[in-house]
Amino acid sequence: MSKEDWNTEDFVLDQVKKNGKALYYASRRLKNTKHIVLAAIQQTEGAIPYVSYHLLDDKEVIQFIVQNYVKWFNLASIRLKSDKDLVLRAVRQKGYTLLHASAELKDDRDV
């Protein structure tokens, strides 16, 4: 496998479907490609540390993470930690995730 392979969408998608942690080797561009990242984290939560900051601000990606691996909610962007619906979903699964919510939502009696 060459460095160029890790910049090829089809190659990287195939690799992360087999082993999500292969996202580590993907090019920066492909670490910012939502369907590749979702395929990687669907395969294993071990791929989550390699998700780009850009996609940690993507509601669909964070919703998937909350639904399947709520303990990683702390990596969500500040903007998404202020999303009441998303925070409620996380808190319903694991109450301690409220610690990572925005200050405004921590004070919200509905949460």
82, pLDDT greater than 90 = yes
Q: What is the pLDDT of residue 61?
A: 96
How many C-beta neighbours within 10 Å does residue 88 have?
18
Structure tokens at 111: 């949460």
pTM for this predicted structure: 0.88
Residue 38 CA, distance from chain mean position: 8
Q: What does the H/E/C string look like for 35-52?
A: HHHHHHHHHCHHHHHHCC
**pLDDT at residue 105, rounded to an integer:** 87
User: What's the token pair of residue 29?
Assistant: 């561009």
Q: CA-to-CA distance for 81 and 97, rounded, in angstroms?
A: 10
Q: What is the mean pLDDT of residues 56-70?
A: 95
